[in-house]
Each structure stands twice: as structure tokens, then as C-alpha cells.
Amino acid sequence: MAVIFTSRRVSGDDDERYAATAARMETLAAAQPGYLGIDSVHDDAGNGITVSYWSDDAAARAWKRHAEHALAQRLGRERWYDRYTLRVARVEREYAFARPIFHLALSDDWAAAQESGVYAMSTRGITVAEERFVHCSLAEQVLGVASRFYADVDEVVVLHLDRARLEPDLVFEAPAPGIDELFPHVYRPIPLDAINATTVWRRGPGAWADPPLHPRSP
């Protein structure tokens, strides 16, 4: 089930309380039985669309009746909204896409991760504890990373990462000041269940080429 809430805010000086209440409702909804997720967008004119997803109609109705949520609904009518519309729809199917992300690991580091249950290296020779995050790459960045930082080794293990299991610790940002290109960084060690697959990549004569980015079972 999808609950679609479209609204227009009243201009006023109660923005801080509204924002705190909205954040609290998202946290509270996520703790309810049957909750599947939420998408929300707002513009500077006060227009907003929030869509919450539920396993079934009973779960959506239970959330509507939740005492703290009911209080927030009353405050919305009295203080914050010029108008709103709520629609309940059934989701028949879903399609999704997210650009895959990868990490290049040395064979010994990957073997250590399989022993410990977590991959705790940031990049070659540097741990997450030292760097605070794991350096990762999009598909089009993998070859450049290998050429710059792994030119003197013959083999690396390509870790195919599960983005859904890494959010919200996944951030796209420049790897250093003065660099415009954004790279994915994961701000925590990577558990093995967030690695969908691995592929061994061997350097050809003189240079890296053709990164194996089509996953096979680990």
C-alpha cells in the first residue's frame, strides 16, 4: 500500500516545530509494523509530497490511528497546512535502479575479512579506523583507481557492494580538496552481507584492463 500525502504549508514562524514534528513522524513510522519506507520532496513555496509504503491496508490504518501521529495530524490542520490531500493506493509492481558501486581489495585483506566477518580496510594499506570511510568506485571509475593505486600489484579482488545495505552511510563526495569528481564513500566497515559478489581481477601485461564488473556468486 502507498499513502500519498500532498500538501501546501501555511507561511509562518512555526517552522522549527514543524520540522521537528515531521522528523519525529518519520522515525516513529519506521518503527511501526508493516512499514516499508518513505519518499518525500518539498519546494521553497511550501508544496510537499510524502509517500509512505506499507505492507497492507491494516498497517496503514494502524499508523493513521497511532496516538502521537493523530496529534500531529491535528496540529497540521490547526497550524501548518493551508490544504492537503491524502490518497491511498495499491502498489501493483515496482522497478528500481541504482548505479552499482565497487571496492578494490587486496587478496590478503579480503581473506582477513572472510575470517572476521567484516571488511575494515579503507583503501590500500589504510584502515577505516584511520580514514573514517571505505573508498569505493562507480563502474566508470574502477579502471582509473586500479591504474593509479594498484599499478604494482598483479591481482585484486573486486567487491560488488549492496547499496541498499550501506545507506545512509553511503556518501558521494570528492576524495580530496581540489578534485571535482565525486566518488562513493562508505562511512563504516562493510559487513560481508553487504557484499553481493566478488570477482578476481588480474592485471594484464603492463596495465589494468577490462575490469570484471559483472557479478558472479561469491
Q: In this structure, what CATH number is given to the domain that contains residue 155?
A: 3.20.170.20
| Residue 191 belongs to domain spanning | 101-202
Mean pLDDT throughout 156-172? 94
pLDDT at 218 over 70: no
As a whole number, the mean pLDDT across the chain is 93
Number of domains composing the chain: 2
Percent of the chain with pLDDT over 90: 84
For position 63, what pLDDT does the model report? Answer: 96
pLDDT digits (tens, 9 = 90+) for 181-217: 999 999 999 999 999 999 999 998 889 999 999 865 4
pLDDT of residue 213: 92
> 68 and 143 share a domain?
no
Q: What is the mean pLDDT of residues 154-164?
A: 95
Under the phi-then-psi rule, with left for phi > 0, alpha for psi from -120 to 50, and beta for the rest, what region is 182? Answer: beta
What pLDDT is recorded for position 216? Answer: 55
Average pLDDT in the 23-30 region? 95
- pLDDT bin (cut points 50, 70, 90) of residue 81 is very high
pLDDT for residue 179:
86
d(CA 215, CA 48): 39
User: Of 100, 68, 90, whose CA–CA distance to 199 is shortest?
Assistant: 100
Residue 207 domain flag: no
Domain closes at, from 34, 65, 89:
89
Residue 212 lies in a domain: no
For residue 217, the model assigns a pLDDT of 46
In a domain, 217, yes or no: no
* Shared-domain flag, residues 11 and 62: yes
Which tops the pLDDT comparison, 19 or 216? 19
Residue 63's φ and ψ, nearest 5 degrees, are -65, -40
Q: 83-142 pLDDT, tens per residue?
A: 999 999 999 998 888 899 999 999 999 999 999 999 999 999 999 999 999 999 999 999
Query: Are 50 and 24 within one domain?
Result: yes
Co-location of 77 and 116 in the same domain:
no
Q: Are strands 137-138 and 101-105 parallel, antiparallel or unpaired?
A: antiparallel
Q: In this structure, what CATH number is given to the domain that contains residue 12?
A: 3.30.70.100
pLDDT for res 175: 84
Q: Which of 89, 113, 129 is the last residue of a domain?
A: 89
Owner of C-alpha cell 491535528:
74
**149 shares a domain with 85:** no
pTM above 0.85, yes or no: no
Same domain membership, residue 129 and residue 63: no
Do 72 and 18 reside in the same domain of the chain?
A: yes
Domain membership of residue 74 (yes or no) is yes
Let me know if residue 96 belongs to a domain: no
In a shared domain, residues 6 and 49: yes
Is it the case that residue 69 has pLDDT exceeding 80?
yes
In a domain, 208, yes or no: no
Instruction: Give the cell for residue 27.
Output: 522515525
